Chains A and B, each alone.
Chain A
Amino acid sequence: MTERVLLVDDEEEYLEIMSERMRARDIDVTTSTSAREALDMIATGSFDAVIMDFMMPEMNGIEALKAIKEKNPEMQIILLTGHATVEKTVEAMKAGAMDLIEKPADLDALSEKIKSAHNQKALIVAKKDQDRVIDMLKKFGM
């Protein structure tokens, strides 16, 4: 099954080239140049993962990450940053990021992370479904 990714960065040229390379690897990519637009896209679309730049205008990566996690706790979010300091990594992980990757990113390694995000999200959704069934069975006294 194809992985569905939302790639968010204010660098349009980066989005264009990165998405072309991802599509060549059979990844279904949607792009956005702002975190606010990305939030709207997540509300209406279905993605396995969001790959997002840490430093963006208006709303930075951490703020966007928290906003996404609040409404979509199962969403897997990978942050891209110019400099992955320990402080930044801890902040991102605490806020619920799946990973923090330093730019320039290695696409093969990133593709592996996307696959793992897809699997992780599928597991979370399956677990939710299972819990729902168990709740229903309990309601019927079974």
Chain B
Amino acid sequence: MTDTKQTLAMDGARFFGEMTATISHEIKNVMAIVNENAGLLEDMVAMNRQGAPFPAERIAKVSQSVSRQIARADDILQAMNRFAHSADHGSEAVDVGETLQFVAKLADRLIMMHGAEFDMPTPAKAVITTTNCFFLTYVIWRCMAAAMAMPQPGAPIRVIAETTPEGPCLIFADMDKGEKFSTSAVSSLETEAIFEWFGARLTIFPEMGEFRVLLSEKRREE
């Protein structure tokens, strides 16, 4: 295995760990709420044994809360399952715009913890590329993480997927312009193994508060 491939394998494993850790944290939050609801029911049973009536309205609220949390857990687990299967095929047709939305959903808590917000409008025409879905997910996350490492603009960071003659392009726009735009936070992306694997090209426009990542398709069949 070449050095780059080894680095990419390790980076990929690290990314998988980061995502599964945040997902497991979310599941724990769901479990904590379900656990407290169960505890609340136990408290009501204990009070009923001492002569207090069952509060029907409160019990209905508990039931609604549990149903809500089950739906939330199902949503989280569906995303986790999709992520787990993203490495199944070496190469497949992938919708880049839709993958952007998926990464934002997968890393929802991490994004929230950064106090960041992303606005990802659906492209007028689907941006389809043939690549490895897991690595596309990873490169998108690295770009989002770099965008979040900058001082937050106080408004959502706009991410647009676009088709160009050279391949699909990710545009991170509406970031804080001028002094607050940290070129160094983004420029380090170019040294990452995943960028090399994609043959990705980074262009920064600090005065516009924008950076673009062109994902060359030269390695898509690997």
Q: Which residues of A contact B (CB under 8 A)?
A: 10-11, 13-14, 17-18, 20-21, 24, 55-58, 60, 80, 82-83, 103-105, 107
Establish whether residues A103 and B113, one from each chain, have CB atoms under 8 Å apart when the complex forms.
Answer: no
Chain B interface residue count: which class? 20 to 34
For the complex, is B31 an interface residue (Cβ under 8 Å from A)?
yes
User: Can you name 10 extra interface pairs (CB under 8 A) apart from A104-B36, A107-B39?
Assistant: A13-B33, A21-B39, A21-B40, A55-B25, A82-B29, A83-B24, A104-B28, A104-B31, A104-B32, A105-B35
The reply to whether the CB of B124 lies closer than 8 angstroms to some CB of chain A is no
Asked if B88 lies at the interface with its beta carbon under 8 angstroms from chain A, I say: no
> Contacting A57 at CB < 8 Å: which of B21, B31, B112?
B112
In the bound complex, CA of A55 to CA of B123 (Å): 33
Contact A103 B65 (CB under 8 A): no
Q: How far is the CB of A27 from chain B (nearest CB, A)?
A: 13
Q: What's the nearest-Cβ distance from chain A to residue B69, in Å?
A: 8
Q: Please determine whether B28 and A83 come into contact, CB atoms closer than 8 angstroms.
A: yes
CB-CB under 8 A from A11, the residues of chain B are 29, 32-33
Cα of A11 to Cα of B65 in the assembled complex, Å? 12
B21 CB contacts on chain A under 8 angstroms: 83
Q: Tell me the nearest residue of chain A to B68, going by C-beta.
A: A13
Interface residues of B in 12-62 (CB under 8 A from A): 21, 24-25, 27-29, 31-37, 39-40, 43
A80 to B35 CA separation, bound complex (whole angstroms)? 14
Which residues in B have their C-beta under 8 angstroms from that of A10?
A: 112
Q: Main secondary structure on chain A at its contact with chain B?
A: loop
Please measure, in the bound complex, the distance between the C-alpha atom of A107 and the C-alpha atom of B69, giving whole angstroms.
Answer: 20
| Contact status B29-A103, CB under 8 Å | yes
Query: Quick check: A55 and B109 within 8 Å, CB to CB?
Result: yes
- The answer to whether residues A17 and B113 also contact, given A82-B28, A83-B24 and a CB cut-off of 8 A, is no
A21:B43 contact, CB within 8 angstroms? yes
Most interface-central of A10, A14, A60 (chain B CB within 10 A): A14
User: What residue of chain A has the Cβ atom nearest to residue B21's Cβ?
Assistant: A83
Contact B35 A104 (CB under 8 A): yes
> Given contacts A55-B113, A57-B115, A103-B31, is CB(A13)–CB(B24) below 8 Å?
no
Q: Which residue of A lies closest to B62 (CB)?
A: A17
Contact between A13 and B65, CB atoms less than 8 A apart? yes
Say whether B25 contacts A83, CB under 8 Å.
yes
Q: What residues of chain A lie closer than 8 Å to B34, measured between beta carbons?
A: 104
